[in-house]
Amino acid sequence: MSKPCAHFIRRGLWAAAFFLAGATQAQTYPVRTITLVVPYPAGGGTDTVARIVAEKMRPALGQNIVIDNRGGASGIVGTDMVAKAAPDGHTLVVSLSTSLLINKFLFKKLPYDPQKDLMMVSQIALAPIMLVVNEKVPVRNVAELKTYLAANKGKLSYGSWGIGSSAHLTGAHLSKVLDADMTHVPYKGGAPLIQDLVGGQIPLSFVGIAEAKPFIDAGKLRPIGITGETRVNFFPNVPTLAEQGLQDDVFRIVGWIGLAAPAATPKAIQQRIADEVRAAVRLPDVRARFESFGMDPVARGPEEFAAAYRKDMPVWQQVVKASGATLD
């Protein structure tokens, strides 16, 4: 037998052994408690989603699932913990697109590389954001907004729940494409942002849909449009920004909440996890709760998630670069 032939046979045997080992692990997985790391404080939207999914997955997996809130450094602390964990499916992270994707462009040095050190297992839900204005701003749609911004160029500000957030980056791009020369006002979270929007300290901002709903219902804020390709069930009469002529990719993609595992986690285990997340998210009560948060429950598996990730990545990279945002 020639050396090249023997080499390929050995490679084939190793591949077969690796596949069989992964399949065997998937059949016995999980063998102990699963830790879902949430790299944000308890009580937020990501934490709530993780707890809902964990509760529904426990019976099917036959093991306890605990939530470990490891907030800090824009999601880096908890995400890095999972990136360096044993790749056996027992330590996972549920996080936002911010820490799993956008941080790569906001920080010059991350302790982990989301593309190399993590595997995107399940894109749990999409989280579009909404452009709103204070009730006293004489604007009801994008066409009227363009006129208003042109008449007030350089005089207006827009808010966000923090530098590098999707609200900041999308707002910066809006200011650029509409030549508005708006000033960015970052807040420490969504609650103070909404408070100043309602109070009139800032005229407009992108906000979380669920956070804005009570104030929209009360007539204190007025919705202009949402990001993404489709309208949300929460506000079926509010058109997307793309419908109103803002066709740039940044207005068509949305933030998301996803589940990731250490990169070397066997594919069979990844698929088992993704299947259980999908089963949980398809439950009517879970879908209803997600939609009440203004989210679109999708539960895309590894291949679909990877494709969406590749599509979003260059858009966010360009938007971050153009905005000049940095968190180093």
Q: For 270-321, how does the pLDDT look when each residue is reduced to its tens digit (9 = 90+)?
A: 999 999 999 999 999 999 999 999 999 999 999 999 999 999 999 999 999 9
Phi, psi angles (nearest 5°) of residue 243:
-60, -30
Residue 236 has pLDDT above 90, yes or no: yes
Q: For 280-291, how does the pLDDT look when each residue is reduced to its tens digit (9 = 90+)?
A: 999 999 999 999
CA distance linking residue 74 with residue 65, whole number of Å: 24
Residue 160, classed as helix, strand or coil, is strand
Residue 228 · residue 247 · CB < 8 Å: no
Query: What architecture is domain 129-252?
Result: 3-Layer(aba) Sandwich (3.40)
Average pLDDT, integer, range 36-55: 95
Token pair for residue 266? 């066997």
Query: What architecture is domain 25-126+256-323?
Result: 3-Layer(aba) Sandwich (3.40)
Element (H, E) at 202: none
Q: For 95-119, how does the pLDDT look when each residue is reduced to its tens digit (9 = 90+)?
A: 999 999 999 999 999 999 999 999 9
Residue 72 has pLDDT above 90, yes or no: no
CA distance linking residue 89 with residue 28, whole number of Å: 11
Q: State the pLDDT at residue 17.
A: 43
CA atoms within 13 A on the CB side of 27: 6
% of the chain beyond a pLDDT of 70: 92
CA distances from 171 to 157, 158, 189, 197, 241 (A): 10, 7, 16, 14, 12
Alpha helices, H only, the chain? 3-28, 45-61, 76-83, 97, 103-106, 114-117, 142-151, 166-177, 190-199, 209-217, 249-252, 267-281, 284-292, 302-323
Nearest partner of 189 among 159, 157, 162, judged by Cα: 162
DSSP 108-134: S--SS-HHHHEEEEEEEEEE-EEEEEE
Token pair for residue 81? 């913990």
Residue 71, classed as helix, strand or coil, is coil
On whether the pTM is more than 0.85, the answer is yes
CA atoms within 13 A on the CB side of 10: 7
Residue 59 has pLDDT above 90, yes or no: yes
Residue ranges covered by each domain of the chain:
25-126+256-323, 129-252
Fold agreement between 25-126+256-323 and 129-252: yes
Q: State the pLDDT at residue 296.
A: 94
The distance in angstroms from the start CA to the end CA of the chain is: 57
CA distance linking residue 121 with residue 300, whole number of Å: 8
Q: State the pLDDT at residue 14.
A: 43
Q: What is the mean pLDDT of the chain?
A: 92
Residue 154 has pLDDT above 90, yes or no: yes
Phi, psi angles (nearest 5°) of residue 77:
-55, -55
Task: Return left, alpha or beta for 247; rule: phi > 0 is left, psi -120 to 50 is alpha, else beta.
Answer: alpha
Q: State the pLDDT at residue 26.
A: 66
CA angle 89, 90, 92 (to 5 degrees): 75
Q: State the pLDDT at residue 10.
A: 46
